[in-house]
A and B are shown apart, each in its own frame.
Chain A
Amino acid sequence: MKNKYKAIIFFLFFIFCFVVLYKGLDNPNTYTPNIKVEKNIPLFTAKDFNSNNYINSDKIFEENKYYIVNIWASWCVPCIKEHPLLMELSTNQSIKIIGLNYRDNLNNAKKFIDKFGNPYNQILIDSDGVLAVEFGAYGVPETLIIDKNKKIIKKFVGPINEEIVQEIKSIIK
C-alpha cells in the first residue's frame, strides 16, 4: 500500500519535470549568461535614470575608452560598502562608470544617490533584471570592466575592495 503511494508520487513528480522541461524547450534560455569571458557587450536599449529616455547601447559605449559597469541597487547592503571606492574611481578621467540600477524602486535609488554621492557618468534602469543577466551577472553588486574593443575583460562578483580598485587602475593604465 505504502509502495503504491510512493510510486504515484514519483510518477507525478516526473510528469511535472517533463512538462517543465518540455516548456523550457519552447523558450530557449537566451538570457542565461555565458561564463566565458571576453565576450562582447550585449546590444540593448535601456531607460536612462535621469532623463527617462530610452538609449541604445551603441550610444553609451564608445570605442577606445575603458568602461566600468557597476550593477547596484539601493536595497543592496554591500553596495553601500563599495560606494566610496566607486566615488574614488570616478575621479579618474580615463574611465567612465556606467551604473546599472538593478530591480530597484526609483525613489529609493534616487535617495541612495543623494545620500552617498553619484560616481556614475550614466545610470541605466534595469527594473526587471534582464539587462544584468545579459551582462552575465550573478547578482548584486557586480562590477565589469569593458575594454577599448567593447569587450568585457574582467568581472568581479560581489563588492569591490581596495585591491580590485588597484587592479582596475593597472588595467586602464
Chain B
Amino acid sequence: MLANQIGYYSLILGLLFSFLLCGVSIKDFNNINKRVNQNVFTLLFLQLIFVVVSFLSLILTFVNSDFSNETVFNNSHTTKPLFYKIAGTWGNHEGSLLLWLLVLTLFIFLFLVNSREQPKKYRILTLLFQQLIIIGFFLFVLTTSNPFNYLYPTPTEGLGLNPILQDPALAIHPPLLYLGYVGSSIIFSASLAAVTQNYISKEWGQHIKKWILISWIFLTIGIMLGSIWAYYELGWGGFWFWDPVENVSLMPWLTLTALLHCILVLERRTALTSWVVILSITTFTLSMCGTFLVRSGILNSVHTFANDPARGIFILIFLFILIFLSLGIFFLFHKENKKDLNNFFWLSKETSIMVNNWFMMYFLSVVLIGTVYPIFLDVISSEKISVGPPFYHKLIVPFLVPFLLFMALGPKLQWIKSKIEKKKSLIIFFIISVVLTFFILKNITTDFLYYTILISAAFFLFFTTLKELFLKKFINVSQVIAHFGFSLFILAILFNSILSSEIITNIKVGEKYNFNKSEIFLKKIEEKKESNFNSIIGHFRITDEKGKVVELKPEIRIYNQPEIITSEADIKTTLLEDKFLVMNIVKGDEYFNIRYQIKPFMLWIWVSVLLLSLGGLISLFKKKYEK
C-alpha cells in the first residue's frame, strides 16, 4: 500500500525535476562559466534517485504480493517463487517502461559525470535532448501505463505471470536489451547536440565510441539471451524465428554495428560524418520504433503484451516528434566538411568500412521491409499477409558470401591507401577452405554448390582471423576476435541447419522406438508438485548409433495461475551437438508425442556471440586505436 503511494509520487517528482532541469540548464547554457553548474548535477542525481525509489517500490509491491496494485494483480501470484516475483516487475508492460526510465536517467547521469573534458555547451545540449526523451517517457508511463494503479476492493489473489516468461534467461534478457536500446538514446542525444554545435569531429568520435561500444555489447548479449530463451522454452528447437519482435531488436543492432565501424574512421580523422550522425539517429529511432511495434499491438507475436490503442498513439506521436526533430536538426545544422570529402582511395580500410556499411544497410532494409510491409499493405489495400523465414533466408543468405569475404580482406588493408601485394597466405587459405568444405559436404547435403560456396567463404574468414590471432601478436585484437566470432557464428549456423535431424513419434511407457540404429526408450513417468505448477517428467533413455546412452528428462508443466500447459525441453549439450527432447500430452491416450532432435554445434552459436561481445569489450578497455 505505502510502497505503492511512494512509487507513484516519486514518479511525479521525477517528472517535475525534468522540467526544473531543463530550466536550469537553459539558463546555464549562456553562462560564461566554463564548467557546468553544480545545480544541474544535483538535480540530475535527485531525479535518478526518485526513479530508483519508484522502481524499488514496484519491486517491493511485487515481493509483498500487494494486489491492491493493478500491475501486481495482473502479473503475479502468491505461489510464485521469490525470484520470479522480482523478475515479474519488468516482465510486463508497465514495469518494463519504468525500467526504461530508470536506465534513461541512469545513463544521462553517468554521461554527464564522465564527460568533463568535453565542451560545456555540447554537454548541456545532450542533457536537454535526453531530458526531452525522458519527459516523453515519464508522460507515457503516467498517462497510459501507470504501474501504480490502485485497485479497490483489494483482490485476494493475482492472475499470475505468463509461465513462458518464468525462465531465468528471460529474467535478465529485458534489462540487458534495454541497456542496449537506451544506451543508443545517449548516442542519439549526443550526436544531435554535436551537430548543432558543429562538433562532429575526431575528438567527439573518440568520446562517443565508448557509449557505442557499451550499447552494442549489451544489445548483442541481450539478443542472444532472448534467443537462448526461445530455444529452451518455446520447445520448437530453433533459436531464431524471424518473429517481428526479434527483428525489431536486430534492426538497431545492424545500424549500431555499422556505426561502430564508422566511428573507427571518425576517431582517426574527421570523415564519414553524415554516416555517423544518420546512423546515430537511426539506431535510436529504430529502438523506439521497436517499442512502438511491440507495445501497440499493431503486430502479433509471442511478445505482444498489450493491445491498448491509446498507448500506440502516444508512442507513435512521440516517435515522429523525435524523427522530425532530428531530421530538422540534421538538415539545418549539419555541414559536410569540404576538405574531408568521402572520396577514399578505392583500396583502403575506409573503403572496406563503407562496403560494410552498405551491407548492413542492405540487411537492415530486408529486415525492415519484412517486418513493416504487412502493416503497410494491410492499411493500403486491406490485404493480410505474413512474411516468414523463407523471405529472409532467400534475401540474406546469398549476400553473406561477399560479406564474409570482405570481412576477411577488409581489415588487412591499410588506412588511407594500400597497395596490392602478393599475399600467398590468403590464396592458400582460400584453396584450403574450398577443398575442406568440398570434403566435408561431399556426402551430406543435397544443395551442394550453394552450401559449398557459403561454407568456403565462412571458412576463409575463419582461417584468416585465426592466423591473425596467433601470428600478429595482438594487433587489433578486438577486431580479430569479433570477426573470428562472426565466422564461427556463421559456420555453426550453417552446419547446424545442414546436419540437424529430427524424429517425431508417439510413445508410451515401456515402449521402444527404433530408427537408424538408434533407440528411444520411455522408462517411466514421474509426477511432481511444485508451488506454482505440477509437472509430469518423462524418463527417457536414448541410445545413439555409436551405442552411447543418454538419459533425457523432458517435462510437461501444468501451471496453476494462469492455467497453462508448457513443455520444457530437456537438452543434453556437448561440444559437438545438442540432443533435444520435448514431449507433449496426447489427450485421452496413454501415448506421449515426442520430438527428438539432434542439433550439431548449438553451443558454438552461443559461444561465438559471446566472442563477438568479447571483441567489443576488449575494444572498450583498449587505449589504442584500430591500426
User: Which residues of A pack against B, CB within 8 Å?
Assistant: 3-4, 6-7, 10-11, 14, 17-18, 20-38, 64, 129-130, 133, 136-139, 147-149, 153-154, 157-158, 167, 170-171, 173
Contact = CB atoms under 8 A, between A and B. Distances in A.
A147 B386 contact: no
Interface stretch (B14-22, B71-79, B374-382, B487-495): B374-382
A24 B378 contact: yes
B316 A35 contact: no
A158 B386 CA distance: 15
Given A64-B588, A173-B506, A32 B374 contact: yes
Interface stretch (B113-121, B295-303, B354-362): B295-303
Given A24-B298, A25-B309, A170-B504, A33 B378 contact: no
A129 B388 CA distance: 16
Top 10 closest A-B pairs, CB basis?
A31-B384, A138-B388, A7-B331, A32-B300, A25-B312, A23-B379, A24-B375, A149-B587, A133-B384, A18-B320
B106 interface: no
Interface string B362-387: 00000000000011101110111111
B241 interface: yes
A148 B302 contact: no
Contact of B505 (A20, A22, A173): A173
Contact of B301 (A18, A34, A37): A34
A106 B503 CA distance: 38
Contacts of B384: 29, 31-32, 129-130, 133
Nearest to B335: A3
Interface in B246-298: 292, 296-298
Contacts of B26: none
A149 B565 CA distance: 13
Contacts, number: 115
B157 to A, nearest CB: 27
B316 A171 contact: no
> In the complex, which of the residues B298, B503, B505, B506 has the most CB atoms of chain A within 10 Å of its own CB atom?
B298
B386 A133 contact: yes
A173 B593 CA distance: 11
Contacts of B390: 138-139, 157-158
Contacts of A137: 386
Contacts of B299: 29, 32
A3 B313 contact: no
Contact of B593 (A17, A20, A129, A147): A147
A148 B331 contact: no
Given A27-B378, A138-B386, A138-B388, A21 B327 contact: no
Contact of B331 (A6, A32, A139, A149): A6
A14 B327 contact: yes
B331 A38 contact: no
Contacts of B379: 20, 23-24, 27
Given A29-B298, A29-B378, A138-B386, A10 B316 contact: no
B307 interface: yes
Contacts of B241: 35
B316 A21 contact: yes
Contacts of B504: 154, 167, 170-171
Contacts of A11: 324, 327
A35 B320 contact: no
Contacts of A158: 390
Contacts of A64: 588
A29 B309 contact: no
Nearest to B234: A36
Nearest to B585: A149
Nearest to B300: A32
B505 A28 contact: no
A14 B593 contact: no
A22 B242 CA distance: 24
Interface of B: 234, 236, 241-243, 292, 296-302, 307, 309, 312-313, 316, 320, 323-324, 327, 331, 374-376, 378-380, 382-390, 503-506, 584, 586-589, 593
A151 B504 CA distance: 16
Nearest to A173: B506
Contacts of B307: 28
A136 B387 CA distance: 10
A25 B389 CA distance: 25
A136 B389 CA distance: 13
A86 B300 CA distance: 32
A32 B302 CA distance: 12
A38 B375 contact: no
A18 B316 contact: yes
B587 A35 contact: no
Given A24-B376, A33-B300, A153-B593, 15 more contacts: A4-B331, A10-B327, A11-B327, A22-B316, A25-B316, A29-B299, A32-B374, A32-B386, A34-B301, A36-B234, A133-B386, A138-B387, A147-B593, A149-B586, A157-B390
7 contacts: A20-B380, A25-B316, A27-B382, A32-B386, A34-B302, A138-B386, A170-B505
B558 to A, nearest CB: 14
A153 B585 CA distance: 12
Contact of A33 (B242, B386, B586): B386
A37 to B, nearest CB: 6
A10 B334 CA distance: 15
B476 to A, nearest CB: 36
Contact of A28 (B298, B313, B376, B584): B298
Contact of A14 (B234, B324, B380): B324
Nearest to B502: A167
Given A129-B384, A138-B388, A29 B324 contact: no
A28 B375 CA distance: 9
Nearest to B293: A21
B565 to A, nearest CB: 10
Contacts of B586: 147-149
B313 A25 contact: yes
B298 A171 contact: no
Nearest to A154: B504
A25 B296 contact: yes
Contacts of B376: 20, 24
A137 B385 CA distance: 9
Contacts of A14: 320, 323-324, 327
B145 to A, nearest CB: 16
A128 to B, nearest CB: 9
A7 B312 contact: no
Contacts of B380: 20
A22 B388 contact: no
Nearest to A33: B386
A154 B505 CA distance: 12
B312 A35 contact: no
B298 A21 contact: yes
